[in-house]
Homo-oligomer: A and B are copies of this chain.
Amino acid sequence: APLVSQGTSFISDINASFVLTSGYLVFMMQLGFALLTVGLVRTRSVKSICLKNIIDASAGGIGYWLFGWAFAYGDPFYVDDNGSTVYQSNAFIGSQQFAMSDFDQFNYYKWLFQFVFAISTATIISGAVAERMKFQAYLLYAFFLTAWVYPVLTHWVWSPTGWASPTRVTGPLLLGSGAYDTVGSGAVHMVGGLAAGAGAWVLGPRTGRFINGKPQPMPGHNSVFFMSGVLLLWFGFYGFNPGTMGQIINPDGSHFAEVVARCAISTSLGGCFGGVVALMQYFVVTKIRTGRSVWDLHQAGNGALCGMIVITSGCGTFEPWAAAVGGIVGGMVYLPSSLFFLHIVKLDDVVDATTVHGTCGCLGVLWEALLSKQGFVEQIYGTTNPDGITPRHYGWWQGDNATVLGANVIWILAMTGWTLGMMVPFFYALKLLGQLRVSPEEEMAGVDASHHGGAAYLDDMSEGSTKGGLMY
């Protein structure tokens, strides 16, 4: 008996170690997003992107520490006479552990992982609004998003008390299954993509991006940084997706690593097929439309990301072939979706976050509802709902009915309503206050020169003070 409990004890340490390491990989997505975005902007805005992506992590971390975790997971509870945890908080928002007060040490590792998730959501936006948003506005929304918008939403689907959560213990599950957004194609990527689209829309396009409603080329300045960003994000996905499983061993000491490994395989196949399919599709379309042969880096890179995001949410519940097909879907959707937003919506989203994270994040929530395999869902969520009786639902195209699909569609609508309902007024308020967008003169000069003290790249002939006159 003492040996068993000893076993249980150190197994939780092993799982914490696994989650922490995964969290560190997710942190690298900050650098990945930064470099991807740097590569896609013009030289005059490079320094602002560099700063914004350090501030994502920093201001976002402060927001998540002060408020975010509390709203997401700060559920009041007590342990009853039987040793069971009884939660008392409501289905919409948590209410304690602000600034990690009265925090259970045992959950430290979970905080780290949730923190890097929150700042990932914030950083998705920075690229879409690049080159014309005021830095103050950026600082405010990074805080607003990580302290309020994202945490509340994750409470709904990932807290054991959330109204949409499949692990809800305080009331009935949504449609009897809860929404399956296991790894966050929805809560992270789609939310980030929606907020990005909202920001880019309220801001309006960069000057010169559209002439007479027709988009003009405004290509990024550095392919190497773009490519580095893609591969660093891919690397980070190996933390993001498998790490969300939260453990490498079941608490009772039984096998779990295969679920984690399945997440890594889904990620790999999603990225591989997404990249190749997007590349091929663009080659064929361009050939037909213009007669030219173009193997396009941009397509391969963003296609790989699209593929990975489509398989993110359900990565632990897919057969490899289902992840591969998900990757193909992601790769095929990139071009039409980005053309739609550019040519029809007239949205100037510098990094196509609306498509990569928004569209593909939405598809990811659907993909989990469609292709989650019964036995695999049970490995993650158990064989029954929290009531201990109702069998777990699984994917429609895997033999179950469309229950999860229904719940996930409701979840998609809820995320859309909440995110746009929060972010559009937020950005409009900043606009009305004159705090959203730099002046046209500042934009043409470049935000680096007008707000960040000088150019990102200098050659040895550069002269004069570049950083505000105090030093350097």
Please give the residue numbers on chain A whose beta carbons come within 8 Å of chain B beta carbons, in ascending order. 3-4, 6-7, 9-14, 16-18, 20-21, 23-25, 27-28, 30-31, 34-35, 38, 42-44, 46-47, 50-51, 53-55, 57-62, 65, 99-100, 103, 105-106, 108-109, 111-112, 115, 135, 215, 217-228, 230-232, 234-235, 238-239, 242, 248-249, 253-258, 260-262, 264-265, 268-269, 271-276, 279, 282, 285-286, 289-290, 292-298, 300-301, 304, 320-321, 324, 335, 338-339, 342, 446, 451-454, 456-460, 462-472
Contact = CB atoms under 8 A, between A and B. Distances in A.
B54 A253 contact: no
Contacts of A62: 272-273, 276
Contact of A100 (B53, B111, B321): B321
B275 A231 contact: no
A453 B285 CA distance: 14
Given A62-B276, A215-B471, A254-B10, A28 B235 contact: yes
A31 B135 contact: no
18 contacts: A10-B254, A14-B17, A16-B260, A24-B238, A31-B228, A42-B458, A50-B223, A50-B226, A54-B301, A55-B276, A58-B273, A58-B276, A99-B320, A105-B261, A217-B463, A224-B225, A289-B470, A290-B470
Given A225-B224, A472-B219, A31 B242 contact: no
Q: Is the interface of A mostly helix, strand, loop or mixed?
A: helix
Contact of A50 (B42, B224, B276): B224
A471 B341 CA distance: 11
Contact of A453 (B4, B7, B242, B296): B296
B460 A269 contact: no
Contact of A456 (B109, B223, B320): B223
A147 to B, nearest CB: 13
A284 to B, nearest CB: 11
